[in-house]
Structure 1
């Protein structure tokens, strides 16, 4: 990696602590300075009684779908205690989530081929023919409904197994506004819709945000900031390497919207 590509560039990474390490190292290797500012914190539930009750009937299901590595890490310790039929199939939103499942002995997990999101998972043939099948979706509290709604429209019976929560650890944006007023703040990496909502809510139309490139990893995350006229750049592919390429292109480009 050319260590001068991001020389003297200041990059904010909003991922949860523990999930930003690889991208931070890539940015630093390219000469950039990383400002860690997590807008999402993954926390366990205060009580898992309802979750355990939900998964107690998992042996009756055809599919267990995990929408994130966090869902695996917080849900599988409970699931692994159950006696489950060999007929139960597992699906994951992407390879990282499938890799987490493999740590619990789950192999042959169904994952999308290209982009790693609900829409790509739903496009797989196995998810097209789910009429009269029972599907349990492992996720955090709340979240998008497109996966469940689409499966229901195809005739599946869908239940949620919510096994963690997402909170915003930041009280305000003073750390970023102070930095922006004293030194250049070049780009902010946002890789979840919830983190973007937290950023926009706290910014509340503050003018400084219009001078910063927002680098996201999915068109869905770009929708709201684009509507607000902010400078949004979308990574061309999943993964940290693609996000690094997006950052380099964004901070060296004069285009307002990518």
Structure 2
């Protein structure tokens, strides 16, 4: 007789954006979980005042650092909108994480540098210790991304230009769905894959007067997201060493297998 899976009967809230959640949901369901999908963040193109200059000087960079899958997609969208041929790019690419590198590959480019751990903090550390060197770097990013990579590059004497190519927002139509879910269903596991999703979750919960999540297991994709969840008193219990959605699903599976034993 086949096992029902370690998440059998567990209600799992998935807050990943639309278009990024399918494989994660598949893994949760394969482990027996009952998924409630409420995407708490969405993305749209951003018109950076520095965008025109970044496009004009695009071919002067020897490295382009992409920090997320969204950064990849919106970077190439900006190029296409401006009529730039990506085949003319001479820069080498660095990517934070294998998932970001995989999306980059769909545009015909290989990530030639990936930090040991998939975070901006780790990349900044490797810049500081001399593992990564460049002359002039472009960093396409989201509006909420931190500046630590650019700061580390400049401290080491390298030129670094940041370019905001997309912005993160709370899809308001999902707020009512989340509140209804929290009021009517139990949430055995709450998953977060970004600090923004934590903030949007707490905003909706506070507006609805819901403040008790002690019975829920909070799972975060990495330490930055965990720090935000813990700041709100959510007490993260699951946080994988590798910061990918696949590793998060595996960590949730492992947590509940241990609970069974």
- Give the TM-score band, short-chain normalised: 0.7 to 0.9
Partner of 1:44 in structure 2?
45
User: Match for 2:226 among 222, 229, 238?
Assistant: 222
User: Match for 1:160 among 159, 162, 167?
Assistant: 162
Find the residue that maps to 2:181 and give its secondary structure.
Answer: helix
The Cα offsets for residues 9-54 of structure 1, whole Å up to 9 and x where unpaired, read as 1111111001000010111111111111111112223x57852431
Find the residue that maps to 2:172 and give its secondary structure.
Answer: coil
The Cα offsets for residues 142-198 of structure 1, whole Å up to 9 and x where unpaired, read as 321211222222222211122122111135754344334433211111011121122
Unaligned runs of 5+ in 2: none
Asked if the contact 1:235/1:246 (under 8 Å) is kept, the reply is yes
Unaligned runs of 5+ in 1: none
Partner of 1:18 in structure 2?
19
Aligned pairs (5 A) from 1:27-66: 27-45=28-46, 47=47, 50-66=50-66
RMSD of equivalent CA atoms: 3.0
Find the residue that maps to 2:109 and give its secondary structure.
Answer: coil
Aligned-partner Cα distance in 2 for 1:127–1:139: 23
The runs of at least 4 consecutive aligned structure 1 residues that moved more than 6 Å come to 129-132
TM-score normalized by the length of structure 2: 0.82
Aligned-partner Cα distance in 1 for 2:126–2:65: 13
CA gap of 1:213–1:61, structure 2 versus 1, over 3 A, is: same
Aligned pairs (5 A) from 1:1-258: 2-45=3-46, 47=47, 50-77=50-77, 78=79, 81=85, 84=88, 86=90, 88-113=91-116, 115-124=117-126, 128=130, 133-170=135-172, 173-204=175-206, 206-233=210-237, 234-250=239-255
Aligned length: 251
Find the residue that maps to 1:189 and give its secondary structure.
Answer: strand
Aligned-partner Cα distance in 1 for 2:28–2:64: 36
TM-score normalized by the length of structure 1: 0.83
